[in-house]
Structure 1
Amino acid sequence: MRRVYQYAYHYAIASDLPEHSRITHVYDKPDLADAYAVRLPANAIDDPELLARFIFAQQAPWVKSLMGLRDVLVAGFGLKTSRQLEAAGASASARDGQHIQIFRIIEKSAGEIVLGENDKHLDFRLSVMLQSQPNRPESVRYLTISTVVHCHNNLGRAYLRLIAPFHRLIVSSYLRRAAGFGWPLRNS
């Protein structure tokens, strides 16, 4: 396992999938599996849903532009565009609060929220998980975003090959931006 405790709060680093995450073994042979972690300050909130909502509200302008380009490219293949996902998410959230941005909430626990979507070309799950560093004298916590993807067909595999490098940049960008804005803090 890669060590994450030596980095400052604003660095998002590649990590192993958390052993106890609900998504680590959701697919027998995922076509993509990655994780990025960032150290949280001691006084940051510990609600994974609120942290996920905060993270995904910190979209960089270049990510929005990239998503627009993605939408143009995938629309002809019958894949869901980010606008369609946002509209569906906004509508569903207004009814039941079960979306965060474009992501459907699959399940929640005290230390993790699992988001995801199923489509004709692939299924994915995204986890936002709080973890403590064992064997440390002080309370050191990390927030890890993990993603696993299972492709159903050649369209899914081609799409994944195209977006995987951007996916990695986007996830680490979200974590860096959230840390740069300052994590939501617990009420003292």
Structure 2
Amino acid sequence: MDGIPNHVMLKQYSDQASFSDNHVREIPYQGETAMDIYLQVMNNTPKWVGALMRLRNRITSAIGLKHLGNFDDFAPVKTDYKVGDRVGIFTMIYHSPVEVIMEDQDKHLDVKVSFHITPNGNRATVTASTVVHVKNRLGNVYMFFVGPIHKLIVPATLKKLPSPE
């Protein structure tokens, strides 16, 4: 179901996941870490994704789901994030030079996202993976609507990264 590669640390969280997906993009590489790539992606989220997030927050707040904040508001306040730090809408739960795993959870969902980078000379492969564990009926209803949209958002967001020449 998940398609998350074995070399991605997030794979260990994918057992019995209600939703998972994985997207890959090749980029030019100049020594960036996974965290550098994550921050770059978060700072360059397409405007339509930000608009969807604002809509999501309005709707879900009315039915009892957590308001996550907006991608448009994301501004990293530092560069030396550590496990346990809040980074935008997520909390960092794992950090290495080649992978960062972020999480947000509430009584309905446990969402984990990973950015993994595999350097290969002057290019690198970025793997963006997501795992969601639904905890109740409201979480299932939410994922029914969000799951298909998520499969559009992640590739569109990765396309904002530079292309190799």
User: Structure 1 length normalisation: TM-score?
Assistant: 0.74
Q: Does the aligned pair in 1 maintain the 2:99–2:115 contact within 8 Å?
A: yes
- Match among 79, 82, 97 for residue 65 of structure 2: 79
Whichever residue aligns with residue 38 of structure 1, its letter is R
Alignment of 1:51-130 (within 5 A): 51-83=37-69, 97=81, 98-130=85-117
Change over 3 Å in CA distance of 1:44–1:100 after alignment to 2: farther
- Identical amino acids, percent of aligned pairs: 27
Structure 1 Cα separation of the partners of residues 86 and 154 of structure 2: 18
* Partner residue, 1:164: 147
Q: Deviations over 1:43-72 (max 9, x none)?
A: 333311111000111111111111111111
Q: 1:159 offset after TM fit, Å?
A: 0.4
Code of the residue aligned with 1:166 in structure 2: it is I
Q: Select 2:22's aligned residue among 32, 35, 38.
A: 35
Classify the secondary structure of the residue corresponding to 2:66: coil
Task: Answer whether contact 2:45 2:71 (CA < 8 A) is retained.
Answer: no
User: Greater CA radius of gyration, 1 or 2?
Assistant: 1
Residue identity opposite 2:67 in structure 1: T
Q: Separation in 2 of the partners of 1:21 and 1:76?
A: 36
Partner Cα separation in structure 1 for residue 72 and residue 156 of structure 2: 20
Partner secondary structure for residue 45 of structure 1 = coil
Cα distance in 2 for residues equivalent to 1:27 and 1:118: 15
Question: 2:118 matched to which residue of 1?
Answer: 131
8 Å Cα contact 2:60-2:67 kept in structure 1: yes
- List runs of 5+ in structure 1 lacking aligned partners: 1-14, 183-188
CA gap of 1:121–1:85, structure 2 versus 1, over 3 A, is farther
Q: Which amino acid aligns with 1:16?
A: G
C-alpha offsets along residues 1-20 of structure 1, whole Å, 9 cap, x if unaligned?
Answer: xxxxxxxxxxxxxx931212
What SS does the aligned partner of 1:71 have?
A: helix
Pairwise CA RMSD: 2.8
